[in-house]
């Protein structure tokens, strides 16, 4: 999540009640979760297991619960509860504002776009030109829709990220992480009926230009889907996934979190993707493998009873 303008670290330290050390004269340009941090960003960490990863990430400033070594050009904001500090910052810059109209007065809708009855458009939404938004679509706050986009009935864009801070030493194990990100739908995208596109927890969930999705496709928080992809019905993509251009996911493919699928990969129906996939290949199965190898494997599996009977008879 980018701030409207750079914010001094001292001001942020005062907001969250943190001790500031290091490059104290610097200003932050945004706040992000570790998977999407950029130079100028704040990131938070509250477990020693992840200290080094956060401190050596692209983030310039780290909200942390212990003083430790760090590069001289960076800064630490030390507080007992880094997660709560993150929540405070997001709530300040992206507060919840109740909507009172089906189409917010702050929404911007381009020329030639048709919005069907029953559609909800939240605060500060931008919709481009010549779009077709069918009945009962929901577009939540701050989302961006490009030009020539078609969204079928019942699709929800910008619902909160499924993302929780987990600690087993408290009464409530899973604490919701405030979603400060957006969904950005680029030009010429088509979304089927009943799709759900979660907003980024701190960054943008992005659907690339010309991508087409069938009904009941789910895209998790902070995922980046490249241009000209084709997703069949009931595909599910978890959070912080990066999918290249021209990728095809056939029906009921499931993609695990924080992985990468290369350009022009094809994953056949009902496959499960647990790790990175190289582009330009066809995949099948759970876990996915080269489709031809997987088909040969299935043939041999079918022959196991026959082979077993032959072995018993010897």
Q: Which residues are catalytic?
A: 221
Cβ atoms of 82 and 46 closer than 8 Å: yes
Q: How far apart are CA 32 and CA 182, in angstroms?
A: 12
Question: What is the helix (H) or strand (E) element at residue 126, kind and residue range?
Answer: strand 126-127
Q: How far apart are CA 27 and CA 5, in angstroms?
A: 9
Which residues are 64's β-sheet partners? Answer: 45, 78
At CA 310, angle to CA 304 and CA 313, rounded to 5?
140
Exposure string for 44-74, b = 16+ CB within 10 A, e = fewer? bbbeeeebeebbebebbbbbbbeeeebeeeb
- In this structure, what token pair is assigned to residue 289? 């493998």
Q: How far apart are CA 131 and CA 129, in angstroms?
A: 6
Burial (Cβ within 10 Å: 0-12, 13-18, ≥19) of residue 150: middle
DSSP states of 163-177 as a string?
-EEE-TTSSSSEEEP
């Amino acid at each position: 999540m980018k701030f409207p303008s750079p914010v001094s670290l001292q001001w942020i330290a005062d907001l969250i009640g943190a001790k500031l050390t290091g490059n104290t004269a610097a200003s932050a340009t945004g706040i992000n979760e570790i998977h999407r941090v950029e130079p100028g960003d704040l990131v938070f960490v509250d477990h020693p297991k992840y200290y080094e990863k956060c401190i050596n990430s692209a983030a310039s400033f780290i909200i942390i619960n212990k003083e430790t070594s760090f590069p001289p050009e960076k800064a630490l904001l030390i507080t007992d509860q880094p997660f709560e500090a993150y929540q405070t910052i997001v709530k300040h810059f992206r507060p919840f504002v109740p909507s009172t109209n089906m189409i917010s007065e702050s929404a911007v809708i381009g020329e030639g776009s048709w919005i069907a009855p029953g559609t909800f458009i939240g605060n500060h939404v931008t919709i481009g030109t010549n779009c077709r938004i069918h009945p009962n679509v929901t577009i939540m706050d701050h989302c961006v829709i490009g030009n020539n986009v078609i969204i079928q009935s019942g699709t929800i864009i910008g619902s909160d990220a499924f993302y929780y801070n987990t600690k087993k030493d408290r009464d409530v194990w899973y604490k919701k992480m405030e979603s400060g990100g957006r969904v950005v739908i680029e030009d010429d995208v088509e979304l089927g009926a009943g799709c759900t596109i979660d907003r980024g927890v701190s960054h943008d969930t992005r659907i690339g230009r010309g991508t087409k999705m069938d009904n009941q496709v789910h895209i998790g928080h902070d995922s980046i889907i490249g241009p000209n992809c084709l997703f069949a019905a009931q595909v599910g993509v978890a959070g912080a996934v990066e999918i290249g251009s021209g990728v095809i996911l056939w029906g009921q493919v499931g993609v695990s979190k924080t992985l990468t699928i290369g350009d022009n990969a094809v994953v056949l129906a009902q496959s499960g993707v647990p790790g990175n996939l190289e582009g330009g290949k066809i995949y099948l199965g759970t876990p996915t493998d080269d489709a031809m190898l997987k088909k040969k494997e299935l043939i041999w599996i079918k022959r196991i009873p026959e082979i077993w009977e032959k072995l018993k008879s010897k």
